[in-house]
Each structure stands twice: as C-alpha cells, then as structure tokens.
Structure 1
Amino acid sequence: MNPISLSLSLLQQPFPIAMSAISFSTPSSYYHSFPSTNPPRVTLLTRISCVSNPTRPIRKQTTDQSETQDLVRLLTRKITDKEPLLKTLNKYVKVVRTEHCFLLFEELGKHDKWLQCLEVFRWMQRQRWYIADNGVYSKLISVMGKKGQVRLAMWLFSEMRNTGCRPDTSVYNSLISAHLHSRDKSKALDKALGYFEKMKGTERCKPNIVTYNILLRAFAQARNVDQVNSLFKDLDESLVSPDIYTFNGVMDGYGKNGMIRDMESVLAQMKSNLVKPDLITYNLLIDAYGKKQQFDKMEQVFKSLLHSKEKPTLPTFNSMILNYGKARLKDKAENVFRNMSDMGYTPSFVTHESLIHMYGLCGCVSKALELFDGLIESNVPIKVSTLNYMLDVYCINGLPQEADSLFARARSIKIIPDASTYKLLYKAYTKANTKELLDKLLKQMDKDGVIPNKRFFLDALGAIGSSRVKSGSANTRTGSNSPQKIAKAQLET
C-alpha cells in the first residue's frame, strides 16, 4: 500500500464521539484537491462540537510547558522500528493529551514523517478526551503542505468542516501556505489569492498580519512586483499594521531574486513606517548585496550592524566569506574570518565549508586541503557536505585523480558518502571526459546500492553542455565509449 492510500485508510475510518473536551490554544502565527474520487464522508452518530471560539475559556493545564516538552522528547526517542508509534502511544495513554500530540506533529514533521502524523491523529480520535479542534487541523494542514501533500491538506480541510468545525483565520493561513508549497507556483498563487478574497468576506476569517506576510513573501519570490504593491496597498487600507516580518519577508524574496532596487524600495517603506531593522534585516541585506557583488553596500550594512543594538551572527560572517570567495577576493574573505575569530566567534562547519569553497574558486587547492586535513586531525565529526566541498575543489581545479583518491579514503576518516557525493563526482568525471574514473565510480555506486534517477543523468548531460560551451570546441570527443555516450545511454535506459 502506497503512502497516499495508507494515509487515506487512516483518515476514512469513522470518527469517535468525544466524551469530554480539552481546550488547547493554538498560536495564530504559524506560517504555513483530493483526487476526483473523494474519500467517503464520515458518518457521525452525533454532532461533534468543535472547539474553535477564540474567546473560549482555556482550561488550566495540569502540566507545565517543560514537562510537556520532556514527554514529547521521550515519545520521539521511543518511536523506532522495534517499537511502533501506536504501541508507544498506548504505553503512555494515561498521560498523553492534545498538547503532547500537537508538539509531536511538529517533531514528526521536522523529520519528514508526515504519515506518522496521521497515525497520531487517528489515535487521538479514539481517546475519550478528544474533541475536534481547529488548532489540531491547522497544524496537520501545515505539516502536510510543507511535505508537499497538498491534496491531503485539502482533504483535512474538508473533513474538519464535516466534524462541525468552522474555519478560522489560522486554518486558512495554513491552507494558503500548503498550496504555496506545491510545484505549480502560478496555480498556487491564484489559489492563495482566491482564499484571501474569501477570507475578507467572512467575518471570523478576516486576514491578519500572518496572512499578508505569507502572501507578500510568496509574490516577492515570484517577482510579481505589481501584486506585492497591491497587497501593501490593501494592507495600508485595512486595520492590520505591518510588522518587521512583513518587510523582512518581502526584502528576502526580492533579495534572493537579485531585485536590489525593489528590495531597497521596501527598506525605505519600512523606515517610513518607523519599523526598526532587526538582525534578520541586516543579514538578508548583507547576503543580497554580496550575491550581487555590491560589496560597498554590503560593507556599509555590516558597519551599521556593528553600531546597532544587534550583534553579528555566524551566518553574517559565513555569507560575507562565501560571497567574497565567489568574487575571488581571497584577502577580503580571509580578513572577515580573522575579524570573526578576534570577536570571539567559533567557526561552524558552514564557515569551514565557505572557506574551503572560497580557496577552491581562487585556485588555492593546498590551502583548502590544509584546512580540510586540520579538521580531520582535530577529530571533530565531519559532515559529508564538507567532504563534497573538498572534492569539488579538486574537480573545479582539474584534479579528478586527487578527487578519486580522497573519495577512496573517505570511509577511513569516518565520512560516509551519500547520493550528493556520487552526483558531484559523476558530473565532474563526465565533464572532464575521464572514462576510467567514471566506470570505477559506477561500480562503486552499484556496490553501495546507490540507484541514480533520471534527474541524476540529466544533470550530468547538462555538465557536458556547459563544458562544450566553455571549451568552444565543436569536436569534443564523443566516441562510443566516452563518458558523454555512457551518460546518454544510461538516461535512455
């Protein structure tokens, strides 16, 4: 049974009758159609009253927040292949309540276990204390959306109403976010606007600042300046006031798309609204200017940050190192690293990876290797992403044999290559036209059980195309046994 079918089987069973209620307040600040043959409707013996009134009295919890989190951590550790989820929940059935399940949804969602979220939900419905609650549905819809299960999110929305719940603003916010995680962004944005207009016409579902923040960020990322301006105008005419998240979200969307002027326009609008920048504002400006290699502005923002009440963070320095590196400004990147160390910051693995990548782009292979070897000698756990950066240094500097040697000894230094490692080397060996190394890599992939998909080979063929363009040669060797022919043959099969 596939995950979708299994999830349907979990949700299509009859809902139990709630014997008693527990009120659980859900934060409204969470940002985030079924198949044509719809699941059978739930048949209820009696109507369930949904706890959705925002003014309802909140029952005093018998346990404090720390005890709730401790129990959820315990449950998360207990849930393994040897002890299935339902067995664990049944073991703690006397103490687990709605607030625990709510946090469990978050933890399972973080680890991509959306199907288990549905199992927890189904288990909740069997308990005497369960009552349908907008907050629970809102969180489940959010989790399903983030994991790309938009149809399940829609189905949950439909079933929520069948249980007697009336949608509120937080539920619609989760539903909008769920649609925005779908692949068809144009259709998703149209759907989001449709829900937005429906919310404006429903008294208990009026858009709040979270609604505007979700939509503004989404349209900024889609480069739709007109719609962003329209939403800002709508916001200005409403009773809702923009906050720091409003401006940060839009500036980040523009910044990531290299739309510097539009980003600066929003920054000016932020100042006119007397909203003070926070650390996120400074960091996204530094990153956006750095990516566009507008280093004068980047450095000015950094100076402003140092004179503000905020303090730089590791991402601040990592971004500057990486962007200086991409511009081959080795001295400036090294100077940032020295300043960071002098200010008492401890480098993270991202810092080391940024430096290794920078040295590779600047052709300083020995410096990159010195840093990498230093990490190995320090006995700190090394992530596979760090190995990949070092392998890439060799590859972009025309040293495929050295890359092969490092790959061969990776396990001896307690680094286990993953699919991204094989993809990196496959593209590099194909681009470098090194058939012997490519054959060796394919054998190792087969030995390790790494099965490449279509995207794997399409990326490799993309590497071939870029290699030909850069070389300017129309006579690149493409014999029957060349890496290029191998990649094409494997794509066809």
Structure 2
Amino acid sequence: MRAAAKASSVAKVGHLLHRRLSSHKPPPPSLSKTLTHSSSSSSSGAASLRRFSSDGISDLRDGVLLLTEKTSSIHTDGEREKLRATVSALADELLTVPDHQEIAGVLDSCSADALFRRSPNGFASIELLSHLKSRPLLALEVFNWRRKQLDAEFPMVSEEYAKAIALAGRAKNVDLAADLFSEAGAVGLLETSLYNALMTAYMYNGLTKKAISIFEDLKGDHRCTPTIVTYNILLSIYGRSMLVDHMEAVLRTIDESKLSRNLTTYNTVIAAYVTAWMWDQMESTFHAMEEGPINPDVNTLLLMLRGYAHSCNLEKMERTYELVKEQVNDRQVPLIRAMICAYCKSSHPERVQKIGALMKFMPEDEYRPWLNVLLIRVYAQEGLVEAMERFISEAFCRNTMVTTSGVMRSIISSYFQCNAVDRLAGFVKQAEYAGWRICRSLYHCKMVMYGKQNRLKEMHEVLDEMENCRYFPTKKTFVIMYKAYSTIGRKLEAQTVIGMMWKLGLGYPGDALPS
C-alpha cells in the first residue's frame, strides 16, 4: 500500500511538472513529434538536427552500452571518469536541441536509460543536470523524462530533486520548485539539501520572506539539520537585502554551533559588506580570513577589488588588481568599469593613462551612459579637447543627456583654456538640440572669447541666443561687454554699457570682474 501511495504521489506531481513545463512556452505542433518524424518532415527541421544523425547517435549509444555492460555499480576512479565523459558527450548532444524540441527520442536513441540505471546513486543523472544548467528548461525536460523511467529498481535520489528544484528557480518557476519539493517529501526523500535548494530558488527570484520561511520549516523538521550550506544561503539572503544586523546574527549562530565557516561563508559576508559600502568591516573580514585556516581565492580578491574601487582606495585597488589582472581583463567588465570610475573621481596624476589602459578591455557593446559622462568630464578637466569631443560625439549619437551643471562647466573651461570659441559655439548648438543642461555660463564664455578676438558682432548675437533660451542679461553679462569694449579702446560703447547698467539698477562695473 505504501509503495502504491508513493507511486500515486509521484504520478500526480509528475503531471504538474509536465503541465508547468508545457505551459511555460507551448511548443509548436511540428516540434512535439519524435525526432524520427521531425527529421522527415522538412529540410529546415533536418538542418537544425544535423548533429543527431544516425552515426552520431550510434557512436554515443555504443559508448553508453560499453559503460553499462557490467552488472555491478561503478566504483573505480577510472570508471567514473569514463562515465563523466559519456555524460558530457550526451549533454553536448542535448544542448544542440532547439528550444521546445522533443528530447525523449534523443535520450532513448542514446540509451540514456541504461546509462542512468548503471550509475551509482543517481550519479549520471545528477552530472547530466549539472551540465545542462545553462538551459534550465531543457534540463527540466530531461529530469521529467528521467522520472518517467521510475520503477522499484531505479529509484530517484534526493540530490536529483535538489538539482531540479534549483533548475526550476533558475527558470523563474518557483511554483514548480515548490511542487518538486513537496513531491520529494511525499516519497520520503526530504533532506536538508532540498530545503537548501528551495531557499536558493526563492532567493534568486527575490522572494526573501518565502526563503526565510523555508529556513524556519527546516529548523522545525526533526529529520533534518541546517548545515553550513544552509547558513551560507541565509547569509546571502540577508546580504543581498543589506540587512547587515541579521547577517551578523547568523554569523554568531554559526560560530556558536559546531559548524565551521568555509570559503563561501567568508566570500558571502565580504560581498554583503561591499554591497552595504561598509569598507572597514569588509577589510576586517578579509584579514580574519587571512589569519585563519581558510585561504582567500580568486573570487575573494575580485570582491576586495570591487570594494576598493567603489571606495576609491586607489593604492589597494591597484595592488589587488595586479594579483587578478588576467581574470579581470578577460571577462570582468563590471570590475573594469568600477576601476575606471574610481580613477575618474580621483586626482591621480596618471589617471588618463590608467583609464586609457583599462578602456582597451571594454567591449563596444558594454556602453554605459553614466561612464561616458564621467569620461567627458575627466578629459575636459585635463584639457584634452579632442578626446573630450570624441566622447561628447558618442553621447550625442547614443542620445545620452548631460544634466549636471558641473560637467557642463568642465566642458566650458576646457574650450576656454585653448581659446576654441568656434568649437564651443558648435557644441552649444548641439547641446541645445540634444536637450543637455544649458547654463548661462555657456553663453558668457562665448561672449568673453568673442570679445578677446574682437568679434563684437558675434558677441552681440550671443545676447539673442540667450534670450531665445530665456536667459536675460545679468550684471555679469554687461561687465563682459564693458571689458570687451574697454580693452580695444572703444570708450563710447563702453560708456553706453555703463548707462544701461545704471538704468537697470545693476550698479557700476568697476567692482565686478568677468569669469
């Protein structure tokens, strides 16, 4: 009776699993048939499945059968490595299957059932699910196929359910994850690893309260005990939510128990402190790690590098970067951006060279508007007009808007220092059209520069531009005009400006200097 009840429970949740997978994105009718039928239906279907030729499947099936000739379980390291190689080959075949393509035919043709039956404790099934985690929906289809082979000689193991629950979380299907958890409990396979998997599924989908609720359920289950993995997940949940006090309480619980902190524990805590911008605690955790039995790994150093970059601690940032330069330059684009940002905010004497070296590792498709604006300001502050204009041009092309007056003033100063009034005038027109932050200083700077070059007509035209943008003359505006006329000895025009100032109640320009 008990076996019948288990079978009934498995069948019920199996139906739920099939329904949820099917409802996620229903496959087209032509793809719901077997591979044999699909291969003869159209030339396009045959092209998409060219890797599943009869020769390829036969080779893989022969490899599986060689491994499964023995009647005993696989025990030696050599046999395990052969099994891993066969599972890897099967995973490669499955990964070429288009989304929603029927995979049962591939698994049947490759003798996957025989492979799974001969591997110890679900080893092959678990390995295969791990290989397929980049395609969680595909992996769940494989898991569902595996469950259909269920019989007394071929029982499921808890780790298979744990993998499937985690995959459902990656597929953002937390309801399916919960159903699989319930099914495992119904057939007597509930272990701590399944609680951990469901907590992780909820955590990655932002369901913090549900994840914590599962932890409370675990503590109340007399059959299971929280492990260091459980507490690491809990640390991550609180760290992601910046609930530092709760995270530190979990750390104290770990230290008071018989459990020991591991590498994941330290990395999770450091990541939380980086997220909360608690630099002192970040460093103290790292030093405690160095002094203890757990050595930092590459991930630890990458976390510290991020923290030093965000805190603009350039000395330690550069020292850490030298230790992980190869890994950062290869694929850690967010870290490269963080380091560039740190240099942009600093007064480092070689910041332009440092930024240029890092920019070589930035892919073109990793454009970020905020970083573009920072680079405009840096090159403007350094007086590198051509480089500044390259980033300005890119901002215009990508519809990036500058909304801060500080950046605009840096651009103005850069043009003023090299006396490039025509380039400034062109920039002002583009900035007006693009909706950038326009300030009175832009026009005043143009007037000053036109005045210095005795281009008085163009200086007066700036007044019309200001009026069009609803910037009316101020005392500084008249002082600029007064200085321009006085410098070239045009006293009549200079006196006229003074008269206008008196008429408007702006006082005498002798006490004011243009800027």
- TM-score relative to the length of structure 1: 0.55
Selected match of 1:171 from 177, 194, 199: 194
Q: Tell whether the 8 Å contact from 1:248 to 1:280 is kept in structure 2 after alignment.
A: yes
Deviations 1:66-95 (A, max 9, x none): 332122112211x12695222222222356
Q: Report the Cα distance in structure 2 between the residues aligned to 1:184 and 1:430, rounded to whole angstroms.
A: 44
Map 1:413-452 onto structure 2 (within 5 A): 432=435
Query: Per-residue deviation at 1:354?
Result: 6.9
Selected match of 1:257 from 276, 285, 310: 276
Map 1:19-418 onto structure 2 (within 5 A): 59=75, 61=79, 63-77=82-96, 79-80=97-98, 84-93=102-111, 96-97=115-116, 99-111=123-135, 113-114=136-137, 116-127=138-149, 130-165=154-189, 167-185=190-208, 187-198=209-220, 201-202=222-223, 205-292=224-311, 294-296=312-314, 299-303=315-319, 306=322, 313-314=328-329, 315=332, 318-324=336-342, 327=345, 332=350, 334-336=352-354, 348-350=361-363, 353=366, 358-363=371-376, 367=387, 394-396=398-400
Q: Tell whether the 8 Å contact from 1:216 to 1:250 is kept in structure 2 after alignment.
A: yes
Equivalenced residue count is: 327
Q: Report the Cα distance in structure 1 between the residues aligned to 2:366 and 2:19, rounded to whole angstroms.
A: 45
Percent of aligned pairs with the same amino acid: 21
Deviations 1:430-465 (A, max 9, x none): 9949xxxxxxxxxxxxxxxxxxxxxxxxxxxxxxxx
- Report the CA distance shift for 1:267/1:8 in structure 2 as closer, same or farther (over 3 A): same
The residue type equivalent to 1:125 in the other structure is R
Q: Report the Cα distance in structure 2 between the residues aligned to 1:430 and 1:160, rounded to whole angstroms.
A: 63
Structure 2 gap segments, 5+ residues each: 1-13, 23-72, 117-121, 380-384, 404-430, 437-468, 472-515
Higher CA-based Rg: 2
Query: Per-residue deviation at 1:283?
Result: 1.8
Q: Tell whether the 8 Å contact from 1:322 to 1:354 is kept in structure 2 after alignment.
A: no
Q: Report the Cα distance in structure 1 between the residues aligned to 2:350 and 2:395, rounded to whole angstroms.
A: 24
Per the alignment, in what secondary structure is the counterpart of residue 399 of structure 2?
Answer: helix
Q: Report the Cα distance in structure 1 between the residues aligned to 2:233 and 2:278, rounded to whole angstroms.
A: 19
Q: Report the Cα distance in structure 1 between the residues aligned to 2:397 and 2:15, rounded to whole angstroms.
A: 45
Deviations 1:238-290 (A, max 9, x none): 22211222111111122123232432343344345353333222221221232
Partner of 1:417: none
Q: Report the Cα distance in structure 2 between the residues aligned to 1:266 and 1:321, rounded to whole angstroms.
A: 22
Q: Tell whether the 8 Å contact from 1:235 to 1:241 is kept in structure 2 after alignment.
A: yes
- Report the CA distance shift for 1:132/1:142 in structure 2 as closer, same or farther (over 3 A): same
Structure 1 gap segments, 5+ residues each: 13-56, 342-346, 372-388, 400-427, 434-470, 474-493
Q: Report the Cα distance in structure 1 between the residues aligned to 2:110 and 2:433, rounded to whole angstroms.
A: 54
Q: Report the Cα distance in structure 2 between the residues aligned to 1:239 and 1:155, rounded to whole angstroms.
A: 33
Q: Report the Cα distance in structure 2 between the residues aligned to 1:93 and 1:369, rounded to whole angstroms.
A: 63
Q: Report the Cα distance in structure 2 between the residues aligned to 1:157 and 1:82, rounded to whole angstroms.
A: 24
Query: Per-residue deviation at 1:392?
Result: 7.8
Q: Tell whether the 8 Å contact from 2:228 to 2:261 is kept in structure 1 after alignment.
A: yes
Deviations 1:309-360 (A, max 9, x none): 997632396145432365387975543366679xxxxx54549847997454
Q: Tell whether the 8 Å contact from 1:330 to 1:359 is kept in structure 2 after alignment.
A: no
Query: Per-residue deviation at 1:156?
Result: 0.5
- TM-score relative to the length of structure 2: 0.52
Q: Report the Cα distance in structure 2 between the residues aligned to 1:162 and 1:430, rounded to whole angstroms.
A: 66
Partner of 2:8: none
Q: Tell whether the 8 Å contact from 1:321 to 1:336 is kept in structure 2 after alignment.
A: no
Query: Per-residue deviation at 1:390?
Result: 5.4
Per the alignment, in what secondary structure is the counterpart of residue 188 of structure 2?
Answer: coil
Q: Tell whether the 8 Å contact from 2:340 to 2:358 is kept in structure 1 after alignment.
A: no
